[in-house]
Amino acid sequence: MAARPQHPADPKYYEALNWIKERVSSRPKIGVVCGSGLGKFADTLEDVTSFDYKDIPHFPVSTVEGHKGCLVFGKLNGKELVCMQGRFHLYEGYEASACAFPIRLFKLLGVEKLALTNAAGGLNQNYKLGDFMLVKDHLNLPALMGLSPTLGVNDLYWGPRFINMHNCYDQELRDLAKKVAAEIGEEKIQEGVYQCQVGPCYETVAEQKLAQAAGVDALGMSTVYEVVAARHCDIKCFAISMITNICNPSYDVVTEVNHEEVIECATTRGDAMVKLISAILDKW
Ligand SMILES: O=P(O)(O)O[C@H]1O[C@H](CO)[C@@H](O)[C@H]1O
Ligand SMILES: Nc1nc2[nH]cnc2c(=O)[nH]1
C-alpha cells in the first residue's frame, strides 16, 4: 500500500487550521456536533473562545434555524472540547464534502472522539416524544444513491479508499452512555438505527413504511456524512438522536410535522440533553 502523505492534499484545511491556531491555544481531544435546537450544550462550557463559521477560512456557514453557526472551544469540568454549534445538510445546497470539512479540521486539531447529536423523527412506535436514542447503526440513503463525503480521488492522508463501517457508532462508548444515563436517572433512553435522507421533505407514509421494513428506528437528514468522514480518518464516534416528533406510517391519520415543532421539542428537552451529554463526556 502507498505510504501515508505527511499533509492533506487540499491546502484549505491548513488555511483554516492555521487561522484557528493563531487565535486559540486549546487542542481538544473531544469534538461535539450539536443538532437542530441542541446547541445549548456549547453555552454551558467554561473558558470559551467562539468563532463565527463565516470568519473561518473555507468553513461552510449555517443556514437552518436552530443552528447558530459557531465553533466553540471551551472546557467541561476542566476537560477541553471543541463544539460545532450548528451543522450542514445537503438540502441547504452543500455537497457532502462540506459536512466533512469541520470533522477533518477536528482531526488536524487532535480530536480522537466525536459526539454527535441530532433531532430525529421517531419511527419505532414504542418511542415517545423527547426520548433519547443512542445510535447503534445507520442507513445512509444518500450514500446508497451515490452521495458521500469521500467521493472522488481519495486523499490517503485522511484514510483508506474503502472504509470499514462496522462498529462505526462505538460499542464501548454506547455501553458507557447507558451506564451514565442510569447513574443520572435518565430513563428515556432507547438504542436504535438512524436513517438519513437528503431532505428537506419529511418522509411520506410510503417512505416511512420502507424504512420500517428496513429496521430503522429514527429518521433524520444529517449525522451520517460526519460519521463517514470521522471513520475515514479514524475518529471514534458516538451519536444521540433526540426524538422530536413521532412518525405515523399510516394513511388513516394525517400527521403534521414541521421544523418549529422539532425545535420546540429540542428546546423543551434541551436541559436534559445537556445533562446527559455532559455526564457522558465527563467520563471520556
Ligand atoms: O439533524 P439535525 O441537524 O439535528 O436536524 C434535523 O431536523 C431538521 C428537520 O426538522 C433536519 O435538519 C434534520 O436533519
Ligand atoms: N427526515 C426527518 N428528519 C427529521 N428531523 C426531525 N424530525 C425528522 C423527521 O421526522 N424526518
Domains observed in the chain: 12-282 (3.40.50.1580)
Q: Give mean pLDDT, residues 63-72.
A: 84
Tell me the sheet residues that pair with 189: 132
CB 266 within 8 A of CB 38: yes
pTM over 0.95: yes
Q: What percent of the chain has pLDDT over 90?
A: 88
Q: Give mean pLDDT, residues 127-145.
A: 96
Cell of 35: 443538532
Ligand 1 atom index nearest CA of 259: 10
Ligand lying closest to the C-alpha of residue 121? 2
Q: Determine the Cα–Cα distance for residues 208 and 10; give it in Å rounded to an integer.
A: 39
pLDDT value for 36:
81
Q: Which residue out of 92, 112, 186, 261 is catalytically annotated? A: 92
On the question of pLDDT at 2 being above 80, the answer is: no
Q: Determine the Cα–Cα distance for residues 247 and 232; give it in Å rounded to an integer.
A: 32
Active site residue 222: yes
Q: CA neighbours within 13 Å on the CB side: how many for 28? A: 29
CA of 44 to the centre of ligand 2 (A): 26
Q: Which residue out of 62, 124, 222, 241 is catalytically annotated? A: 222
The response to whether residue 87 sits with its C-beta less than 6 Å from ligand 1 reads yes
* 75-125 tens-digit pLDDT: 999 999 999 999 999 999 999 999 999 999 999 999 999 999 999 999 999
Centroid of chain to Cα 187: 22
pLDDT value for 1:
66
